[in-house]
Structure 1
Amino acid sequence: MSLLNTQKVLAQAISCMAWNGDKSRVAVSPGNSEIHIYKTNGSEDFEKWEREHTLTDHDHYVTGIDWAPKSNKILSCAQDRNAYVWEYNEKEKKWNPTLVLLRLTKAATCCKWSPNEEKFAVGSASKMIAVCFYEAENKWYISKMIKKHKSTIKSVAWHPTINTLATGSSDMKARTFNTYLKEVDGKRSADNKLKFGDVFVEYTSKGWVHSVQFSPNGKWLAFIGHDSTVQFVDYASQDQSVADAQPIESQVVRHEKLPFYCGLFLSDKVFVAAGYDFAPYAFALEGNKWVLKGSCDEMKKTGAAQGVGVRSAFLKFQATSTVGSQNAEKSDAPQTRHHNVINCIEAFKVEGGKVSKFVTAGLDGKVLFWNVADIQKNLGFTL
């Protein structure tokens, strides 16, 4: 195989992960209330990784991790309704947590640092977004709430250049919000009349919106629906000067198989999405139109893959109960490198502002590396 073939299992399941700035360390939650920090030693084989720290302050399942590349602070959130900002104490050789005052009544579901790392957003099942910042006078993190959602927020993403936050929710909407805060962003121009929390625009999906992502230049907004679609919006052409602007028409790209769960822009012209189909898929901008190019995974030609996915488990039960046979398991075993849902996708190597290698992780406990050059060769697109 031309793609890197890391098939070992790091944990029983991975709920979320994040890399530090130079990719020498990675933070992983193994599907429970802990966060494990590994020193990678420059290797893509995690048998050579060393677990340096285990962070245990969360009481319930960890739902989000984000590692600020400049300040080296780790942000985490969990179903215990809390978020922490972790800072490394070089003298003590340990990560010290600072509790964030979220005031949530239900689970925190996702979190993300802003591009300048001066504030961050935490989504929740309380139908609220907490936009948080550090108050130096009292030496704590405080939050201001955005209460414009009708259901659980599943994803947040910051625009790379302006104070705009995109959210994806299980109310089947993707929205963008004004997140200007005088305490952090300073004095604004006199012609800017928008208030904190004002909705710029609201887009509609026909399924839960699992993920929202901005392209590196901020021109495109992509959001992933549970109806097996990815929608692309030319956000640079969207009116962002008024609240509740009329949404411009999105480009809907359909997938014939199971829905995606997470996504990543490799460049301003290429997007990858992964999820319930156990493999990443590439989308490319051709002219003015986004098209699905195909799976990034190389299918195995011979032999059954190890492990059992949701579909193969169902077929095994069906065959056993109807004809007394278990042959269905062998014929329908996962033929992909991942053997369960992919719920994390992160850039690993960026060259000239374009991702040349990315990483996926999922409920099978695997961390897999993908060379973009090999995928380009197979699918025929340019970054």
Structure 2
Amino acid sequence: MWAARCNCKYFGSRFASKFRPFPPPPPYHPTALHLPSPPLRQFAECITCHAWSPDHSMIAFCPNNNEVHIYKFFTDKWEKLHVLSKHDQIVSGIDWSRSTNKIVTVSHDRNSYVWTQEGHDWVPTLVILKLNRAALCVQWSPKENKFAVGSGAKSVCICYYEQDNNWWISKVVRKKHESSVTSVAWHPNNILLATTSTDGKCRVFSTFIKGVDTRGSQASSSTDWKFGEQIAQLDMSSMWAFGVKWSPSGKTLAYAGHNSMIYFIDDVETSPAAQNLALRDLPLRDILFLSERTVIGVGFDCNPMIFSADETGLWSFVRYLDERKVTTSTSRASQLSEALGKLYGQSKQAAGSDTVEPSKPRGGAHENCITCIVPLRKGNDSIVKRFSTSGLDGKIVVWDSENHIDIAK
């Protein structure tokens, strides 16, 4: 089922471990998941990205233009409170810090702003990125003392606040990527940063900045990693790579490929072990760890997918999250489609060793590609029980899995 057909480069003797091939997993029978119809709202014709306030009472999103709209929920309806319109081109990334209540935005205009709420207004502060191409994604670090910006300039900017000069500046990781950086993800230790790129590779870097980080927060006390040092390069996808994420503990790294594959890598820093899972339908654009052994993937199928790892650490597809009840006639048609899908899947399995997932029922909360998935965390809880998705259909859907889904811890 699993194939370790990946070409991964590790730098230094401690990263010279080879991947361990995995035997086929035993049949997996997940606990039935019963979710109510998710609450959704049509905010715009198309949504590029979104983020939530720390108390989840407000939401910020880009309606596929140069603005960021902030809505607040009052009793039974959403009302627009603010429009952040400092950018000149499409806003491609938004992140809202949980402890400092600051919003960071990036845009195709190559600029980034940190927005601070002063009274009833949001005041922008320009961040010096030093980019000659569009900024594509952004994320605050776990300690929120810096943030990472991926760009079309084949580089990543690590931005931090310089108290002496009262401004946000950046240090750039250059000459590591061969194409645009599509996503960034911080390790829980606040030092390591994972990136994906349209060159098909996933990379892990050190972002240690003297005066901002402390040596004790590094992942390994035996090695002093310098800023921009490449810890690992994963050459598993032959196509564009998207949506990289770390598990809550930082032990597992996962990302998606445009070849309808999802990749899981354990122990990236020491003895890496990789698993590849092939999807039956369209590729994913973003993923989210609900726990150490449960992942939600979203993308071109317009329906979130649930993946889970068993006790041995082997990952498999569980089901589509937004499945709908079908009539008898539709059910018969689905059975025929499923039979054809199985036949097609068998032909694909004969050609390779990766798992091929069955076809899914069409229709659901989203009607177009889902491009963004955001957790709604409660305090320091490591298990995500609520999350939201947005996409090209202009909808933002909130999924509440608490008491309705058996999340593998």
TM-score by length of 2: 0.78
Q: What's 1:382 paired with?
A: 408
- Preserved CA contact (<8 Å) 1:164 1:177: yes
- Preserved CA contact (<8 Å) 1:4 1:369: no
SS in 2 for 1:354: coil
Higher RCO (C-alpha under 8 Å, 6+ residues apart): 2
Deviations 1:83-133 (A, max 9, x none): 00000002xx10000000001000000001100010111000000000011
Query: Following TM superposition, by how much is the alpha carbon of 1:349 offset from its aligned partner in structure 2, in angstroms?
Result: 4.5
Q: Which amino acid counterpart does residue 81 of structure 1 have in structure 2?
A: R
Report which stretch shifted further, 24-33 or 351-360. 351-360
Q: What's 1:264 paired with?
A: 288
Query: Following TM superposition, by how much is the alpha carbon of 1:350 offset from its aligned partner in structure 2, in angstroms?
Result: 3.9
Deviations 1:137-187 (A, max 9, x none): 111111111011000000000001241000010010000000000021146
Query: Following TM superposition, by how much is the alpha carbon of 1:3 offset from its aligned partner in structure 2, in angstroms?
Result: 2.0
Where does structure 2 lack aligned partners over 5 or more consecutive residues?
1-33, 329-360
User: In structure 2, how many angstroms separate the alpha carbons of the residues matched to 1:373 and 1:61?
Assistant: 35
Q: What's 1:299 paired with?
A: 324
Q: What's 1:243 paired with?
A: none
User: In structure 2, how many angstroms separate the alpha carbons of the residues matched to 1:265 and 1:122?
Assistant: 21
User: In structure 2, how many angstroms separate the alpha carbons of the residues matched to 1:335 and 1:138?
Assistant: 53
Query: Following TM superposition, by how much is the alpha carbon of 1:21 offset from its aligned partner in structure 2, in angstroms?
Result: 1.2
The alpha-carbon distance between structure 1 residues 261 and 32, as it changes in their structure 2 partners (threshold 3 A), is same
Q: Which amino acid counterpart does residue 362 of structure 1 have in structure 2?
A: G
Deviations 1:60-100 (A, max 9, x none): 0010000000000000000000000000002xx10000000
Q: Which amino acid counterpart does residue 280 of structure 1 have in structure 2?
A: P
Where does structure 1 lack aligned partners over 5 or more consecutive residues?
240-246, 304-332
User: In structure 2, how many angstroms separate the alpha carbons of the residues matched to 1:101 and 1:8?
Assistant: 35
SS in 2 for 1:250: strand
User: In structure 1, how many angstroms separate the alpha carbons of the residues matched to 2:213 and 2:388?
Assistant: 33
Q: Which stretches of structure 1, 4 residues or more, deviate above 6 A after TM superposition? A: none
Query: Following TM superposition, by how much is the alpha carbon of 1:254 offset from its aligned partner in structure 2, in angstroms?
Result: 1.2
Deviations 1:2-59 (A, max 9, x none): 523435411111100001111111111111110001112376xxxx011110000000
Identity level (%): 39
User: In structure 2, how many angstroms separate the alpha carbons of the residues matched to 1:156 and 1:111?
Assistant: 7
SS in 2 for 1:59: coil
Q: How many positions carry a matched residue from both structures?
A: 338
Q: Which amino acid counterpart does residue 226 of structure 1 have in structure 2?
A: H
Which of 184, 188, 203 aligns to 2:234? It is: 203
Query: Following TM superposition, by how much is the alpha carbon of 1:302 offset from its aligned partner in structure 2, in angstroms?
Result: 5.5
Which of 244, 255, 260 aligns to 1:223? It is: 255
Tell whether 2:193 aligns with 1:161: no
SS in 2 for 1:183: coil
Q: What's 1:313 paired with?
A: none
Query: Following TM superposition, by how much is the alpha carbon of 1:369 offset from its aligned partner in structure 2, in angstroms?
Result: 1.7
Q: What's 2:301 paired with?
A: 277
Tell whether 2:374 aligns with 1:343: no
SS in 2 for 1:12: coil
The alpha-carbon distance between structure 1 residues 97 and 162, as it changes in their structure 2 partners (threshold 3 A), is closer
Q: What's 1:251 paired with?
A: 275
Tell whether 2:130 aligns with 1:67: no
The alpha-carbon distance between structure 1 residues 339 and 202, as it changes in their structure 2 partners (threshold 3 A), is same
SS in 2 for 1:71: coil
Q: What's 2:163 paired with?
A: 136
Q: What's 1:321 paired with?
A: none
RMSD: 2.3
Query: Following TM superposition, by how much is the alpha carbon of 1:375 offset from its aligned partner in structure 2, in angstroms?
Result: 5.8
Q: Which amino acid counterpart does residue 232 of structure 2 have in structure 1?
A: V
Report which stretch shifted further, 29-38 or 6-15. 6-15
- Preserved CA contact (<8 Å) 1:300 1:335: no
SS in 2 for 1:40: strand
Q: Which amino acid counterpart does residue 291 of structure 1 have in structure 2?
A: S
SS in 2 for 1:231: strand
SS in 1 for 2:74: coil
- Preserved CA contact (<8 Å) 2:148 2:156: yes
Q: What's 2:225 paired with?
A: 194
Query: Following TM superposition, by how much is the alpha carbon of 1:340 offset from its aligned partner in structure 2, in angstroms?
Result: 0.2
- Show the 5 A alignment for 1:1-383: 2-41=35-74, 48-90=77-119, 93-147=120-174, 148-186=176-214, 192-204=223-235, 205-235=237-267, 238-239=269-270, 248-287=272-311, 288-299=313-324, 301=326, 335-350=363-378, 352-373=381-402, 376=405, 382-383=408-409
Query: Following TM superposition, by how much is the alpha carbon of 1:381 offset from its aligned partner in structure 2, in angstroms?
Result: 5.7
- Preserved CA contact (<8 Å) 1:3 1:298: no
Q: Which amino acid counterpart does residue 128 of structure 2 have in structure 1?
A: L
User: In structure 2, how many angstroms separate the alpha carbons of the residues matched to 1:135 and 1:42?
Assistant: 41
User: In structure 2, how many angstroms separate the alpha carbons of the residues matched to 1:263 and 1:42?
Assistant: 31
Query: Following TM superposition, by how much is the alpha carbon of 1:207 offset from its aligned partner in structure 2, in angstroms?
Result: 1.6
TM-score by length of 1: 0.83
